[in-house]
Structure 1
Amino acid sequence: MRTVLVTGPGGAGRTTAAAATALAAAREGRRVLLLTADRGPAPEAVLGTALPAPEAGGGALWGPPAEVTPGLHAARIATGEHFQDRARDLQERGASLFDLLGASPLDPEELTELPGAEPLALLTALRAAHADGGHDLLVADMPPLHATVRLLALPEQLRRYLRRLLPAERQAARALRPVLAQLAGVPMPAQRLYETAARWEAELAAVQDVLEAEGTTVRLVAEPGPLAAGELRLARAALSLQGCRVDALVANRLLPGVTGAGATDGGVTADPWLAGLVAEQLAAHKSLHEEFLVDGVTVCELPHLGRGPRGPQDLAELAARARSTTIGVAAAGGNGSAGGFGVIPGGGLTDELDGWSGTGGAGDPAVEDRLAADGVLLWRLPLPGADRGDLDLLRRGDELIIGVGPFRRVLTLPSALRRCTVSGAGLRDGALCVRFTPDPGLWPRPS
């Protein structure tokens, strides 16, 4: 299944862009499911359709999907119900541990959704939608940009925490628990605790598989401006750090005269107030347009309709007026124009939905052997948009801890680099490059 995770700075119009993308895809014959965790009025207002809630106590992750147009169904994720179901399950499985601690269980009426419940419900819903397999395209209306970056990093982080708290060797000693309890004179954690940890590990692994699947990409939405540009660059580098691929940048609410190909430096309006807004947006859009295209990311432009989009008719108008550009090989024209590699027009919001195989500027870490020439191994991680001042790097044992602004990721080093020392690092051409020098005491010597 193709999955597009739509996010952007708060107020950028990500719900509108997600809905317009889903509608455009459905009109091309795809079976599309649009999921949102937004419990405010925006999704229903934009779609022009009510999103029913699931039946109480039914265990459903979302309510019955509502048909917006033929081929497009939308649903709202039931974050509160998901939290209550998980809390009840945790209490049942951890009853013996709670007894050991002298804690009394919470009554169902006391269970109130806590901060952080929404991300977990959203991740679970993404996995469930993939397992269902009833659609060709899943479009997810994600939280604001920085919250989405943290959300996409969550499965890997939680799995790492589980391995640290309940390592494999400790779980392997479960058969000795009765003996250890007798020797220690205190009860040992119940079997259910380890079973629950194993179940969580399996669920998190399934979610991570969805996020890392080849057909899963992030689509950024922004209203071009000075503040949005800085936020996009930081978040884009953080997404790349997590291995997430960006398939497109949607420049939303573009004023007249602000486009990639037909941009103008002035003369759009005689109103000096509006002219100032156009000039500011134009400068920011040109910069982002060039920056993302260079890294192979499609740039899609959505015009300002002069009103807030409401309902399928407005969404269809947005999709019809959308324009996109990308870097590729243009065919020779019938009028004798030569083809070649360069900026070429695309098909709008549905670009990159079929057979997407790009990198979006992201990529896995790679090791380059420079032992013969420079005596080092070069470890390289693409971080497009990263600023040198936002980067942190720390080696701890066999791991590298990399920071991009407030975001962190722990990466395990390949076996060859574990026998080396870090001799330098730098940011070059949009990639973090770390030099490793072989440790004579650990590096194998030629026989």
Structure 2
Amino acid sequence: MRTILITGPGGTGRTTVAAATALAAAREGTRTLLLGTDRTDTLGAALGAATGPAPVEIAPHLAAWRPDPVAGFRDDLAALQDRASAALDLLGAPRLDPEELTPLPGAEEIAVLRALRDAALAESHDLLVVDLPPLPHALDLLALPEELRRYLRRLLPPERQAARALRPVLGRLAGVPMPAEWLYETAARWDVELAAVEAVLADRDTTVRLVAEPSPAGAEAVHTAALGLALRGLRPDRLIANRVFPEEGGDGWLAGPLAQQRKVIDEWQTSYDVRTVAHLGRDPRGPDDLLALAVPEAGPADARVDWPVVDRLAPDGVLVWHIPLPGAVREDLDLVRRGDELVVTAGQFRRVLPLPSALRRCTVDGAALRDDELRIRFAPDPGLWPAAR
């Protein structure tokens, strides 16, 4: 299934563009699901119809869904209490009633990720349009599955589960229940769920679409977002320049703002597939206004970024890992090798990258930023690299 993740700076109309994109696709006969992430029903306001915690049919071929993080948090905590009942009883801890539960920070993000996974894996729709939170929250959300899986693997390494048969014996010797069994089972289940979300985000039919107003602030936000996406191996498939003033208004008081918009759009067009959406002179409300925006079609997915490892052993004695980082600044880059991982920092963004298998047997020999691309050189470690015959 095709998935379009739409985000942009707050207040630039990303929700409206997401709703218009979904509605236009549905009008073409594509079975479309529109997933909202706002706590308030801004999506419903744009559509002219309320959305809720279950998919609601908005128009022919179009359903909208806004997951409820409170319900998901209650279900998760109830399940956790059931699994940890022995340990809770030993400690004398009373159970929490569902009525007294309020979601903790992070519950909303988990609810969105689960909804994204469930919607993407369902076979009831052909297109999933996701109204992501505004930047930079959306970038944090996209990074969350990988980061949580990494934390789980560090805290509860799967290889330690080989000792599961010893836990009942240890429990009897200690005279207390051992919670490790359910803990590892819970961690394994979470790992599977997070891996499914990662697979959706990494799928070649999944793309990110940026929405921004063509202004200096919008240009800065797009620059930052592009760098954050690039570090995740993504680039925008479209850049929607939203609320663009009409050209015929260029002789009046709009002359200055219009010239500024033209300049920003011209700069964007050197790096992105830019599509403009006109300013209606009001906040779009309802299907008629959404269709009047004439947003770009869903189109084919083509936003993956390859990170090739280039063999330069013969001429230079190194392997070179090419990581595209458009807009990166040399002074804001940092690299740290840690075992079989490479910690890459680019501006305000950081990612822990597992090294490709060939590079794990090498040492870092240097790095350079050229043509918006980070090129890291790896020299074979004589103690680990197969000897030439």
TM-score > 0.5, shorter chain as reference: yes
Offset of residue 184 of structure 1: 5.2
Structure 1 position 89 matched with structure 2 position 79: yes
Equivalence map 1:172-183=2 (5 Å): 172-183=162-173
Match of residue 341 from structure 1: none
Is the 8 Å Cα contact of residues 237 and 383 (structure 1) preserved in structure 2? Answer: yes
SS in 2 for 1:18: helix
CA separation in 1, counterparts of 2:333 and 2:364? 16
For 2:25, the equivalent position in structure 1 comes to 25
Match of 2:284 among 309, 312, 322: 309
In 2, the alpha carbon distance for the partners of 1:130 and 1:439 equals 43
CA drift of 1:120 comes to 0.7
CA distance in 2, matches of 1:178, 1:351: 55
Tell me how far 1:185 sits from its aligned partner: 5.9
Of 342, 345, 350, the match for 2:297: 350
Q: Secondary structure of the residue that 1:291 maps to in structure 2? A: coil
Counterparts of 1:37-48 in structure 2, within 5 Å, are: 37-48=37-48
Q: Does 1:291 align with 2:271?
A: yes
1:366 aligns with 2:308: yes
Look up the match of 2:252: 270
Residue of structure 1 equivalent to 2:374: 432
RMSD between superposed Cα atoms in Å: 2.0
Q: Percent identity?
A: 58
Partner of 1:193: 183
Q: CA deviation at 1:245?
A: 4.3
- Aligned 8 A contact 1:66 1:75 in 2: no
Corresponding residue to 1:380 among 314, 318, 322? 322
Please name the residue that 1:445 is paired with: 387
Q: Which residue of 2 aligns with 1:409?
A: 351
Could you say what secondary structure the match of 2:293 adopts? Answer: helix
Q: What TM-score, normalized by structure 1, do the two folds share?
A: 0.82
User: What are the superposed Cα offsets for residues 113-134 of structure 1, whole Å, 9 maximum, x if unpaired?
Assistant: 1221111111101111123211
Q: Which runs of 5+ in 1 are unaligned?
A: 54-61, 259-266, 293-297, 323-348
Deviation at 1:186, TM superposition (A): 5.2
**Partners of 1:141 and 1:415 in 2: how far apart?**
36
Match status 1:145 vs 2:127? no
Deviation at 1:190, TM superposition (A): 4.3
Measured in 1, the distance between the counterparts of 2:86 and 2:348 equals 38
Q: CA deviation at 1:71?
A: 1.8
> Does the CA-based 8 Å contact 2:329-2:347 persist in structure 1?
no
Which position in structure 2 is the counterpart of 1:163?
A: 153
Alpha-carbon contact 1:22-1:32 (below 8 Å) kept: yes
Aligned-partner Cα distance in 2 for 1:98–1:138 = 41
Distance in 2, Cα, partners of 1:243 & 1:31: 28
Distance change (3 Å), C-alpha of 1:406 and 1:186: farther
Residue type matched to 1:305 in 2?
Answer: L
TM-score between both structures, scaled by the size of structure 2: 0.94
How far has the Cα of 1:400 moved from its partner? 0.4
Instruction: Supply the distance in 1 between the matched residues of 2:112 and 2:340 (Cα, whole angstroms).
Output: 33
Residue equivalent to 1:6: 6
CA deviation profile, 1:341-372 (whole Å, cap 9, x unmatched): xxxxxxxx1152xx43x2x3x52422111111
Q: 1:404: how far off?
A: 2.4
2: distance between equivalents of 1:102 and 1:383? 53
Read off the aligned partner of 1:278 and give its amino acid letter.
Answer: L
Call closer, same or farther: CA 1:137–1:195 in 2, change over 3 Å.
Answer: same
Q: Deviations over 1:198-244 (max 9, x none)?
A: 11111111111111112111111101111221221222122122123
Aligned-pair distance for 1:66?
3.1
User: How many equivalent residue pairs?
Assistant: 389
Q: Please tell me whether the aligned partners of residues 50 and 66 of structure 1 are also in contact (alpha carbons under 8 angstroms).
A: no
Amino acid at match of 1:5: L
- Would the aligned equivalents of 1:384 and 1:430 in 2 still touch at CA under 8 Å? yes
Distance 2:90 2:257 in 1: 64
